[in-house]
Structure 1
């Protein structure tokens, strides 16, 4: 086994990971206000996450909304136990037969995915791809597939990831601009799994203006930014895994902020909000109790605990019964160290999915219903569920979900 993660090497002043922390936080490009401040946001998140304890959900059906929970069977009538027993057996046999037929045809949780929308208003576009993007012979290797699907399972967690072209780009014949990179560096206990999401921000433009190719963010730039960030993390994955094991919040925040700013130089060269870059880090050590998520630009980090969605970046409950609260202004660099709780589901996603989860309660409820089961969905089912449709949300979607055992 490599000694890359040895404690004696990790804390040396001339180590690469140690040099990442040199310089004040305010000197970073595009991150003037990304310092930890008084730590109030972290305290808010800890407070919000503790409201719904992991034990309440138990990682099982307790996180499932009451609307889909079958009512308890009525007790048999005392005067005629024989008749009641026969009736109960008949009901059980009938239910088993229905379940078997449904399972062979199509599992019930996926029959409305993605053809039928969950919201009241129907989407403007069809659920299936229409036009293929045009290709250039000289750049045939740059062709981007419509859909990318990833999955992994390690002791303590299961990961599902997907990136799919939106209904609107499919209708217009445009390529998928979201990027997804999922990989692993090293082996446990110093190994690290990471998922990097990149995308092009939807900036309102003057429809009368002529498009300027030099001012347009290319798909290659987005994917290069994802690769640069993954490469930088891979060079110090053992040190990062040790910091995650220790829960070194401030050290991780400072170092990952610098790595992200360097990787996103080309991504944000045209405009500060031209693109987004987010990453999820998961240690392979089963004893490590934290995951880290961070990034620049639009995107969402949500925690599903006991059937309730928490906006982890903003440290607030989504779809509160008292009405939606005012969302805080996002910082240029967003970071969250999330303690892993049994039954928790952590979701990092691009704006194409983050916006409908936050803006359409039916979408959030749909995903909570299908994901709060004892077992994570398969990769194909996860793709179908991530494509849940609602009017007004037709852009590319990229999602990385982590189920904690």
Structure 2
């Protein structure tokens, strides 16, 4: 079974129990796997990614509400690695659909803006980046809402944005190693950590006017409040993009969880897919939500 940190293991069993049924009337939930695992090597960049159903959802027999995307966008001279994580709001009936759709549709809309994003990255123009992100995510929301509204009318029920509420974080990394800037577009909790000198540093999203915004936001309704985080990294630093299922225990008062993952992912070798999945499932008492994490390693020159 997966390892745990702390003196006592979590109360929930460490493996899937019940699962959704097709008779529940939600085929999307019934066919959503408990675990997603992905990876890639793009030039000097190596990616490991997983989305795992949380212990509480395994116990209840409900589906994984997190989603993730690993892909590339842009033309060859402005190509970027796009990594996205989304966390469906637990109280929203179709948040698993929202997280799945937004993590993919956002990639398509950001691809249309790839050359502008790349140029703004090179100029370190965070205001322009934030404007592009708001425009692209706004298009994404409109594309997603249409089918959801039609489905609600067909079933004779009112449509509300909250039914599909989800957070979204998108990390863009240029594949050209000469470009050192990266950007994260964020709506809601979760976000980006950077492993530097054996310690995880949280890269805080900044809102309009450079003010930290701590409100809980979610798509579809919060598409005008995309936060932007511009950062510069060097080879040897590890980027970690995650939902709050992993970012919350990383920031807990007991640092054992953070130390454990720093040792696992800060070594000289990038873990295999199976090792990464095992390490990402490290358990900590009181943290039983879905967990989605994408890490990026960069080989030195």
Q: Into which bin does the TM-score normalised by the smaller protein fall?
A: 0.7 to 0.9
Name 1:386's counterpart in structure 2: 280
Instruction: Choose from 95, 113, 121 the match for 1:244.
Output: 121
Instruction: Choose from 228, 246, 257 the match for 1:363.
Output: 257
Name 1:330's counterpart in structure 2: 214
* Deviation (angstroms), 1:306: 0.6
Equivalent pair of 2:95/2:164 in contact (CA under 8 Å): no
Equivalent pair of 1:184/1:192 in contact (CA under 8 Å): yes
Q: Closer, same or farther in 2 for the Cα pair 1:392/1:282, shift >3 Å?
A: same
Q: After superposition, where does 1:4-43 map in structure 2 within 5 Å? A: none
Q: After superposition, where does 1:179-218 map in structure 2 within 5 Å? A: 179-186=67-74, 188-202=76-90, 216-218=93-95
Is it true that 1:130 corresponds to 2:17 in the alignment? yes
1:366 partner SS: helix
Name the larger-Rg structure: 1
The alignment covers a number of residue pairs equal to 269
Instruction: Choose from 307, 315, 335 the match for 2:198.
Output: 307
Taking the aligned partners of 2:235 and 2:41, their CA distance within structure 1 comes to 15
Name 1:234's counterpart in structure 2: 111
Q: Closer, same or farther in 2 for the Cα pair 1:172/1:137, shift >3 Å?
A: closer
Taking the aligned partners of 2:231 and 2:298, their CA distance within structure 1 comes to 12
Cα root mean square deviation, aligned: 2.7
- Name the one with the larger strand percent: 2
Equivalent pair of 1:150/1:182 in contact (CA under 8 Å): yes
Q: Which runs of 5+ in 1 are unaligned?
A: 1-113, 204-214, 316-327
2:257 partner SS: helix
Taking the aligned partners of 2:7 and 2:213, their CA distance within structure 1 comes to 30
1:227 partner SS: helix
* Deviation (angstroms), 1:295: 1.2
Q: Which runs of 4+ in 1 moved over 6 A?
A: none
Name 1:373's counterpart in structure 2: 267
Equivalent pair of 1:313/1:334 in contact (CA under 8 Å): no
Equivalent pair of 1:314/1:330 in contact (CA under 8 Å): no
Q: Which runs of 5+ in 2 are unaligned?
A: 149-158, 207-211, 216-224
